[in-house]
Amino acid sequence: MRQYVGGDAHHMRQRSPRVVLGDMATFDGFLDGYVEGDGCRAKHWRGRVVVSANVPFLRELATVIGARFTPARTPGRASHLCVVDGWPERGTFVEEQHPMDLVERGWARVTGVRKRRAEAAKPFTLYRFEAEPHGCFLLQGHLTRAA
Listed by start position, the domains of the chain span 18-90, 115-145
DSSP run (H or E) holding 116: strand 115-117
Q: How many residues are there in the chain?
A: 147
DSSP run (H or E) holding 127: strand 125-127
C-alpha span between 126 and 115 (Å, rounded): 7
Domain 18-90: which CATH class?
Answer: alpha beta
Residue 118 scores a pLDDT above 80:
no
More confident residue, 69 or 145: 69
Give how far Cα 106 sits from Cα of 86, 102, 144, Å: 40, 9, 15
3-state DSSP assignment of residue 71: coil
Tens-place pLDDT, residues 26-39: 889 889 988 988 89
Give how far Cα 97 sits from Cα of 43, 143, 146, Å: 35, 26, 35
Supply the pLDDT for residue 1.
47
Supply the pLDDT for residue 111.
74
DSSP run (H or E) holding 136: strand 136-139
Residue 129 scores a pLDDT above 50:
yes
